[in-house]
Homo-oligomer: A and B are copies of this chain.
Amino acid sequence: MADLAAPSLPVGPIGIVGLGLIGGSLGLDLQARGRVVRALVHREATAERARARGLATVVSTDGALLADCVLVVLALPLDRLLEPPPDLVAALPQRAVITDVGSVKQPVLACWRELHPRFVASHPMAGTALAGVEAGLAGLFAGRPWVATPEADTDPAALAAVQALAELLGAKWIRCGAIEHDRSVALISHLPVLASAALLTNADRAGAASGLSLLVRTLASSGFADTTRVGGGNPQLGTLMARCNREAVQAALGSYRQQIEHIEQLLQQGDWPALQQLLEQASALRPEFVASLS
């Protein structure tokens, strides 16, 4: 007997709006699984490059190509997602399932719950250091979380379709509230970007203030490289995350600053057993967070 409860992806073309890292990777994976992919991009130059890379079955700058899509993924940067052009909204078929890939969910829902009846807010948590039409790569979503943040009135069949999409690509399906999502990513994604950037600007400024500009650069090791990787990433993306998730990022920054102050106090007091205990806690915590990653 078929499992009637299993989520299924509707038959028909799948639309992707935007062919950056996420959109391009989706296009490659979906075609590899035999799906027809229709991709809408902003510029003709991007369309030509996307065609050359085979990121979709059809690539166009004309929203009309989305007309018969059964599911459309809005793979746009947060700022464009939160101020969608009216012709994009008009081009989305009313019966299609619409989902997004934005890294903050409350403002996306606040905007899109009014714009489309079958919108499902989602966030595939896959990334690389790359962006743009050259960035998309096959297999990006395999084993990575794909979070959906449905509301009480989210269409259950639309939610099931997005779940089927995520599972088709090998992602780990997770459901939670938008507030919970946004607070969590503030702690494990957005704050680390800012804390990591602050390590770089602090090493530069405090180094220069001590006349050590060259020496700090010469002595930086693989540990500094690891710790500053996300802080040296895309500045626009980092700013958008902070702007769109402002409240949660402020809270995360505040509690982080208190942790730093606590460590300052331990050094001030020379309380080495307590410092070692804190570092032992950190060491024990890390595998709980990143066991499958490092």
Binding site for B on A (CB under 8 A): 125, 127, 144-145, 147, 174, 176, 180-181, 183-185, 187-189, 191-207, 209-212, 215-236, 238-239, 242-243, 246, 249-257, 259-261, 263-264, 267-268, 270, 272, 275-276, 278-283, 285-290, 293-294
Chain B residues with Cβ under 8 A from A281's Cβ?
A: 200-201, 204
Cα–Cα distance between A223 and B141 once the two chains are bound (Å): 15
Q: Smallest CB-CB separation from A210: which chain B residue?
A: B183
Chain B residues with Cβ under 8 A from A288's Cβ?
A: 217
A78 to chain B, nearest CB (A): 12
List 6 tightest A-B contacts by C-beta distance, closest first: A232-B286, A235-B279, A197-B282, A225-B290, A198-B259, A220-B289
Please determine whether B259 and A219 come into contact, CB atoms closer than 8 angstroms.
no
Q: Which of B200, B205, B225, B286 contacts A255 (CB 8 A)?
A: B205
Please determine whether B224 and A285 come into contact, CB atoms closer than 8 angstroms.
no
Given the contacts A202-B252, A230-B226, A212 and B184 also touching, CB distance less than 8 Å: yes
Chain B residues with Cβ under 8 A from A283's Cβ?
A: 232-235
Please determine whether A289 and B201 come into contact, CB atoms closer than 8 angstroms.
no
Please determine whether B260 and A185 come into contact, CB atoms closer than 8 angstroms.
no
Please determine whether B219 and A230 come into contact, CB atoms closer than 8 angstroms.
no
Q: Which of B176, B226, B263 contacts A226 (CB 8 A)?
A: B226
Please determine whether B225 and A227 come into contact, CB atoms closer than 8 angstroms.
no
Given the contacts A188-B203, A263-B198, A264-B250, A220 and B290 also touching, CB distance less than 8 Å: yes
A-B contact pairs, 15 of them (CB 8 A): A174-B215, A184-B207, A188-B221, A188-B224, A192-B227, A196-B282, A206-B251, A224-B289, A225-B293, A233-B283, A235-B276, A238-B279, A250-B267, A254-B264, A260-B260
